[in-house]
Amino acid sequence: MDNQDFFSTPSLLGNIGAPFLLGIAVGYFAKKMLRTALFLGGGMVVMLFVAEYYGVVHITNTQLLHVTDVAAEAAKNSSDFLLDRLSLFTVKGVSATGGFILGFKMG
């Protein structure tokens, strides 16, 4: 077994620094994409409300709530996938997951 110093700069950068920076980048991107999706989704809902007002379509509250539940589940599955993938970078994925959370908060 190699006598490796775990507190040396190359070891810390490779095991903690790089996964943390990768987590920040992924978290930041995920938040920006979530905001964009919410903006576009909100715009579509407003357009549906306008179309309903003018009698073009008819939307029930049950239909609208069902679509919202499906979209929320898809967002949850997407974030679970990203966190699971980031956790593969380090033994417990702590630095990458911490970076993801920080990047998501910054975004």
pLDDT of 1 higher than 70: no
Q: What would the mean pLDDT of 5-17 be, rounded to a whole number? A: 56
Whole-angstrom CA distances from 25 to 16, 32, 77, 83, 102 are 14, 11, 19, 13, 9
Angle at 49 between CA 55 and CA 70, to 5 degrees: 120
Distance CA 23, CA 20 (A): 5
Give residue 90's pLDDT.
60
Q: What mean pLDDT, rounded, does the chain reach?
A: 80
Count, in order, helices (H) and strands (E) of the chain.
4, 0
pTM: 0.68
